[in-house]
Amino acid sequence: MKSLSILFFTVLLLPGISLSDCLIRGTGDMGVIVERAAGSLKVVDTTHHNTLFQVEGLGDLSHASAVYSRDERYVYVFGRDGGLTKVDILCGRIVKRIIQGGNSIGGAISQDGSLIAVSNYKPGGVKIFSADDLSLIADIPATTVTDRDGNKKGSKTVGLVDAPDQRFVVSLYDSGESWIIDMSDPAKPAIQRFENIGSLPYDGLVTPNGRYYIAGLFGQDGLSLLDLWHPEKGTRLILDDYGRGQKKLPVYKMPHLEGWAMADDRAFLPAVGQHAVLVVDSKDWKEIKQIPVHGQPVFVMARPDGRQIWVNFAFPHNDTIQVIDTETLEIINTLKPGKGTLHMEFSPRGESVWISVRDKDEVQVYATRTQELTHRLPVDKPSGIFFTSRAHQTGL
Amino acid sequence: MKSLSILFFTVLLLPGISLSDCLIRGTGDMGVIVERAAGSLKVVDTTHHNTLFQVEGLGDLSHASAVYSRDERYVYVFGRDGGLTKVDILCGRIVKRIIQGGNSIGGAISQDGSLIAVSNYKPGGVKIFSADDLSLIADIPATTVTDRDGNKKGSKTVGLVDAPDQRFVVSLYDSGESWIIDMSDPAKPAIQRFENIGSLPYDGLVTPNGRYYIAGLFGQDGLSLLDLWHPEKGTRLILDDYGRGQKKLPVYKMPHLEGWAMADDRAFLPAVGQHAVLVVDSKDWKEIKQIPVHGQPVFVMARPDGRQIWVNFAFPHNDTIQVIDTETLEIINTLKPGKGTLHMEFSPRGESVWISVRDKDEVQVYATRTQELTHRLPVDKPSGIFFTSRAHQTGL
């Protein structure tokens, strides 16, 4: 007993080694779930469907997003309050936390894993940090615009994603631009600017192969498409009918572009302000079909093999999930996980899907083949779910 | 000093915990390299480009292949001698090794990570083991055939892959069949048999989305295609000209189907017995183009974003790599890594590629954007390279 006491006492004092709370285990089957109200994370094991750690003190996690280091050990969480927090999921603790801006709305990790980029509403612009110690590598101011009161300010930056060849792509809400930021030489960010991409881009995505960047537009119908293999061709407008049309929806009612799914040659996306999923041919961006669904879709997500699309909905229909067959384009199942069904994340090879059900304070796990509930985990007001397999994918 | 000595002494004695050789680290940036002649593995770190462990005692590793557990901690190595070895890459040691058959030529791991399947030449058939302890779960004998001497034997099994919904697919060389093995209920393997798929299937692949299973045929031209979304339609012959034609090539000169690349709607594959890469439309399986290359291609591999194809060649041209642009279909670079350039593996997001150069006893790392050599690692007669990100993909 005595030697064990000495052991544990000593181990706790050794820097970087703490057997009492760090795990020797693979990280390929791990993930985090955002507990929005508490400002904390649950670190989970997707093989055994259990919680490994709770990590507290992450600040305001409304609409928080997260990316993983290439070794799948660290998660970088982007908070609404401008916080950037690096969490060690093997030890269940915050490694470093900084407030990098006034109001952050998303981030990305570079292809090689060395750089973390964050887009900010205030003061606008993109900041790029070392993934290692969160030291500032580059501070890229946004285009200056004049607001209604005649004051100068930096444009809000939105829709920040990573792209192959060590690039980031971002859009500027107020100035109507998209930028490619090439960080091959971290000391000299090379910025390629595309102006007049459309009015008020509010969000962006990159296709899973990293080729196409698409920005959603709040100020007009349609979306802006940029072919990253051919930036010299500039942006072009696609899906001319996609948008608010004559309706005056507030910006928060516009679909998140992260809620798009790509399966084979087709994109599945939420129709704006309608109870429908749009099916679009991703070769020519023409609409193939509108699938009537239970409510206004929020996330339209493809099972990794592209066989099924799972859809959740905005309030007051947010107690429901519908499953669409990608071949017949018909709804094959309607599930009722409960009120506040906010987010979904598929296991890497798609055998299961984890669903946040806020008002039940739980995450539900379903087998995708049968669409049957297999496990429940208690989680305090769960929202975003992020599995480590994202580390290996572009744009996630 | 005294307390430290006690610490390390005690820690080494604790079951399951040995700080001296197990690592607390993420496994997303790890991999193994097969040292064929020595029957050993190098465990590598793809971020720092170095070796973490050497693991010995894996038997005959000629044409060895490997798959990863879903947590990316364990690698299962399938050896030519029928050996199945489970290696813990965090601790650099063999967890368990069994000789499961007389002559093994490949294996797969189930979608949920719980089952390891192995296909055997002798005695034929497929054995399925628990991924946990390698205990036998199912022993599925092959169709019995009569050999030239009139003796009964089990058909050789080849081209074993995993597929979505907890299935494996395999082909039977002597009896000309493909089988779908559904392991949803491990106690009752459900086998769907497809007969007369073509003469002497010698290898197989599943497309990255898990939908199509393709078997190469040694006894006739063409390949057999099975749509796993519609098994009721049976197999059909595609690429009628693909094969030996009038030439009588030995079976080992036939291209491995793992050497096919899929990028967008196109497949890139080695022409049989010719110095050419075939480009095929994967919608209708019609040939689009033949690209003349430096030698007989062995592996035709797509960078993960589909922007480039890297090709190596059979002896005597096996000192060369060529890089093809997937848009122009032209060769953009010819590299000379050295004699015995046998295998390639891309980093998960494609910024680099690792290349085994047997006769230099080294692995070379290239930046894919510039195609410049960035790192070298000493490895004893390297052959296959397998990164942990395979854990998250179907068919790898």
Please state which of the ranges A152-166, A321-335, B10-24, B146-160 shows the lowest mean pLDDT: B10-24
Please, what's the largest Cα pairwise distance for chain A?
77
Between the alpha carbon of residue A95 and those of residues A74, A75, A101, B366, the distances in Å are 9, 10, 19, 32
Interface with B, mutate which of A3, A4, A7 (most B CBs under 10 A): A7
Has residue B220 got a pLDDT over 70? yes
Interface with A, mutate which of B72, B284, B329 (most A CBs under 10 A): B72
**pLDDT value, residue B8:** 41
Q: Return the DSSP state at A16.
A: T
**pLDDT value, residue A20:** 54
How far is B223 from B205, CA to CA, in rounded Å? Answer: 11
Host H or E run for residue B12: helix B2-13
Question: Which domains can be identified in chain B, with CATH numbers?
Answer: 100-240 (2.130.10.10)
pLDDT digits (tens, 9 = 90+) for B116-141: 999 988 888 999 999 999 999 999 99
**pLDDT value, residue A174:** 95
**pLDDT value, residue A4:** 40
How far is B67 from B70, CA to CA, in rounded Å? Answer: 10
Q: Do A24 and B28 touch (CB under 8 A)?
A: no
Which of chain A's residues have a Cβ under 8 Å away from the Cβ of B184? 369
Residue of chain A whose alpha carbon sits nearest to that of B73: A26
B392 closest CB neighbour out of A164, A229, A348: A348
Residue of chain A whose alpha carbon sits nearest to that of B263: A209
Kind of pairing between the strands at B201-206 and B212-217: antiparallel
pLDDT band at B20 (very low <50, low <70, confident <90, very high): low
Q: Do A72 and B72 touch (CB under 8 A)?
A: yes
The CA distance from B284 to the nearest CA of chain A, in Å, is: 14
Greater pLDDT, A243 or B96:
B96
Host H or E run for residue A13: helix A2-13
Between the alpha carbon of residue A22 and those of residues A8, A66, A72, A93, B92, the distances in Å are 13, 21, 15, 9, 19
Between the alpha carbon of residue B380 and those of residues B65, B250, B319, the distances in Å are 17, 29, 17
Edge-to-edge strands, sheet with B30-35: B50-55, B40-45, B30-35, B382-387
| ipTM exceeding 0.85, yes/no | yes
Q: What type of residue is A310? A: W
**pLDDT value, residue B7:** 41
Phi, psi of B311 (to 5 degrees): -130, 135
pLDDT digits (tens, 9 = 90+) for A23-33: 999 999 999 99
Q: Which residues contact B85 (CB under 8 A, 6 or more apart)?
A: B58, B59, B76, B77, B79, B94, B96, B97, B98
Cβ neighbours of B394 (radius 10 Å): 22
What is the end-to-end Cα distance of chain B in Å, rounded? 48
Contact of B285 with B230, CB cutoff 8 Å: no
**pLDDT value, residue A396:** 86
Q: Please give the full DSSP string across B98-125, using - where no structure is assigned.
A: EE-SSEEEEEEE-TTS-EEEEEEEES-S
Has residue B252 got a pLDDT over 80? no
pLDDT digits (tens, 9 = 90+) for B72-99: 999 999 998 899 999 999 999 999 999 9
Q: Copy the structure tokens of residue A133.
A: 């110690």
Q: What is the pTM of this model?
A: 0.93
| Mean pLDDT across chain B | 92
Has residue B339 got a pLDDT over 90? yes
Kind of pairing between the strands at B40-45 and B65-68: unpaired
Which of chain B's residues have a Cβ under 8 Å away from the Cβ of A50? none
Give me the total of CB pairs closer than 8 Å, taking one residue from chain A and one from chain B.
171
Q: Do B28 and A90 touch (CB under 8 A)?
A: no
Give the residue among A353, A349, A354 at the shortest CA–CA distance from A389.
A349
Q: Copy the structure tokens of residue B382.
A: 């390297």
Q: Return the DSSP state at A29.
A: T
How far is B262 from B258, CA to CA, in rounded Å? Answer: 11
Q: Do B10 and A25 touch (CB under 8 A)?
A: no
Phi, psi of A248 (to 5 degrees): -105, 80
Q: Do A392 and B348 touch (CB under 8 A)?
A: yes
How far is A302 from A310, CA to CA, in rounded Å? Answer: 6
Interface with B, mutate which of A22, A305, A368, A369 (most B CBs under 10 A): A305
Q: Which residues contact B16 (CB under 8 A, 6 or more apart)?
A: none
